Structure 1
């Protein structure tokens, strides 16, 4: 395995040695930066002559390639900042002798690196603050394609994802064009970093995942290889009267909780409109939102929390508060021709979104079953139905559940 960035991180960690002094703002000193740029061959320009003027770099923060290497070492937990010193994390130094594990640590931490190497300030793009979502979108698009992907197409994909949280309709054409241009610039820069990491090859205006990159994506997505552990999971919607609503799904044992979330959504038939969390009895896991104070679900695997016979609670839509029991029924191994995740059984329909929780759902079923009820037509209109028979609470279609799961696997859902 050959990776330019892995070798730079190893060389930087060895340079740190027993520890190095940082500036008062916690940066590499300029004197050290001047030594590191040629040592690591980062290609950063320390001084530039334009006309009669010589412009010298006055802070290591402006040396973006060097900052990338430094942040990579932090993400891999090879070094850490303590006070005004950068020191080694002794328990993780074994990574330096295992390039494969070091590479994986860097690749799985790539979504944390955007602010290290993308421009900040006046020319900052939307990708910089939305780097986790944007970089995952680009990698998923590459992973779902056999062969090369046009870079302009990747830029468009990333733009669609990172611009979604913002209201840009009021922007004039020129500012919007500038914002889009800076985003495309940073997308291309991100692809260049992935090239240095050995994840993609770049040629003729296109990008393609390497075999190493595909292997890393399988690991991130929790997809199993033949012989890897899988779990048979029973997902049961709790407190539903009359008709039990449940699905039995085969998933990789190592599936991250953020992927398990979209699997549950697809298997059950939810539409992923609302917030959610997992609870293992003590700790809440969910999206990495500081105000929610959940543990980041992207960094926790299912088999980290439960073994066969164990249970998790999954709550969806904090308003309607749909509680699901996640029971690990048994463990098996993936087969070479198996598809995972895969639904193998289930019963009853998923309730409609925003119906008002278990009480509201029970009331909806009652009203649909009573054509004379004064709210019967209102409920039909709310559901968008002409005939109450078109919504059957007892209906479950295994093929439809697996079609939704296939969309999750292909990256078109979730």
Structure 2
């Protein structure tokens, strides 16, 4: 296999499809036979070790599913549609022949189906990544879209995202397994040519950056970008607002996450957009069947109307979104970009704008009966540590980089 044939992942997919030929018999459980898998280890140069010797003891390989490299190519070829299973045999898909001849199309198909490789990347299902593979992979790629990241940061992000929905009995053991499988995930993306590892830092390659950009609906050079001002209504001294530049084609679902990160909200409450007499959100929610699907509407489609964004239906934080100007995306700039802002984000669950005013009043008065209680409630070392005028653009920028 020659380097000119593309990244290792594509070369293996082509070689595997050619090896399938007119068809190959599978086992009763739908796996490649062990005899064929042994041949594929050499043919595809997967690096798998058959019958490994560990500490002087030989562990017999009993199934091709134990060979993660072979399994990866097998699952990937099926997910892309290069091969399929018919009556216990693996056969090529004839209409996929043009895909094999076009490296760009094959690469895109491999990138889009990467999330289906969980059984090969996390074979023992010991880590939380096994259960949250697709959302974690999106989270890591989204983070890398914002710029290079240290490996340690990606491991931490993977653990945060994968473990969040669960209560874990043995977190240290599971965390080690999660880091191991995250390393494997990143290695598969490296084999595809979507990322590069330089020392302890990871960066998207140009094809990887473009693929993530398209997936996020972010603007490419020359495409429209809006300079957007977000104001938290009914706040004063100072008014809490942010200015950011965001792609016109971003779906409202992603815009919500961008706005929450830019403002400083923790994003664990419900939300809704309003524009042109319509309401957009998550229509599967039982509390409101009248919502239009926010994933199917872009900012550009509602930009001509007055846009409202409400976060937390209990505290009812009402925001106004104003498109101040339209720009062209600059080459080499990853959007969104936080430009400016003023005012600290109020604490979550403080009772809306009325409660926020009372919170500030109590913090400013050491003699207030709620002063000590609210300092402890807000987790502050002292009342002086909350500055209602504070806004750190760099903190907001980092928060935006971590959204997924």
TM-score by length of 1: 0.63
CA distance in 1, matches of 2:153, 2:332: 32
Q: Structure 1 residues 247 and 53 mapped into 2: Cα distance closer, same or farther (>3 Å)?
A: closer
2:374 to 382, 406, 410: 382
Contact 1:37 1:44 in 2 (8 A): yes
CA distance in 2, matches of 1:156, 1:370: 37
1:4, distance to aligned residue in structure 2 (A): 1.1
| Alignment partner, residue 399 of structure 2 | 408
| Alignment partner, residue 63 of structure 1 | 67
| Alignment partner, residue 356 of structure 1 | 351
3-state SS in 2 of match to 1:250 = strand
Contact 2:51 2:59 in 1 (8 A): yes
Q: Are 2:103 and 1:99 aligned?
A: yes
| Alignment partner, residue 336 of structure 2 | 341
- Write the mapping of 1:81-230 to structure 2, written as runs, cut at 5 A: 95-107=99-111, 109-120=113-124, 124-132=126-134, 135=137, 158=158, 162=162, 171=170, 176=172, 179-201=174-196, 206=200, 208-209=202-203, 211-212=205-206, 215-216=209-210, 219=213, 224-230=219-225
Q: Structure 1 residues 332 and 381 mapped into 2: Cα distance closer, same or farther (>3 Å)?
A: same
| Alignment partner, residue 259 of structure 2 | 264
Contact 2:229 2:322 in 1 (8 A): yes
CA distance in 1, matches of 2:155, 2:131: 16
Contact 1:67 1:116 in 2 (8 A): yes
Contact 1:68 1:117 in 2 (8 A): yes
Q: Structure 1 residues 56 and 391 mapped into 2: Cα distance closer, same or farther (>3 Å)?
A: closer
Q: Structure 1 residues 366 and 182 mapped into 2: Cα distance closer, same or farther (>3 Å)?
A: closer
Contact 2:223 2:329 in 1 (8 A): yes
Contact 1:11 1:40 in 2 (8 A): yes
3-state SS in 1 of match to 2:185 = helix
2:245 to 242, 250, 271: 250
1:264, distance to aligned residue in structure 2 (A): 0.3
3-state SS in 2 of match to 1:306 = helix
Contact 2:282 2:292 in 1 (8 A): yes
Contact 2:271 2:281 in 1 (8 A): yes
1:274, distance to aligned residue in structure 2 (A): 1.0
1:6 to 10, 21, 25: 10
1:302, distance to aligned residue in structure 2 (A): 6.5
Contact 2:221 2:330 in 1 (8 A): yes
3-state SS in 1 of match to 2:60 = strand
CA distance in 1, matches of 2:227, 2:129: 38
Q: Are 2:302 and 1:316 aligned?
A: no
Per-residue CA shift, 1:318-367, capped at 9, x if unaligned? 5445465666676431135877434567788754410334xxx3355479
Matched residues, number: 384
Contact 1:234 1:326 in 2 (8 A): yes
RMSD (Å), alpha carbons: 5.7
